[in-house]
Structure 1
Amino acid sequence: MSIHVTVYGAESCMKCTNTGTALRLAGIDFELVDVNVTGSCEQPACVSCRW
């Protein structure tokens, strides 16, 4: 069974980068949707980047 994950975050966010690293090390296929680039209101913002 193949798992694909979509990570909504920001490439400039260390927590999002660490999440991507953990997924890569676990062999899980993922796509990072950079909310800073897409700017879509329909997509959640990077929660870990908000203080």
Structure 2
Amino acid sequence: SSVTQPLYDMGAVAMRLLTKMMNKEDVEQKTIILPYGISEKSSTK
């Protein structure tokens, strides 16, 4: 089994935050929760 991660969404969120920081805009300190999934492999079935 493995955990699937939303890599595109993680990159998009990081880029938005980085752009704000580079433009010297205020960046909120907050937790961002993105969806994930579990991919079952044949050994767990």
- Which has the larger share of strand? 1
Same fold (TM over 0.5): no
- Higher Cα radius of gyration: 2
Q: For this structure pair, what is the TM-score category when the shorter chain's length is used for normalisation?
A: 0.3 to 0.5
Q: TM-score, normalising length from structure 1?
A: 0.40
- Which has the larger share of helix? 2
Say which structure, 1 or 2, has more relative contact order (CA 8 Å, 6+ apart): 2
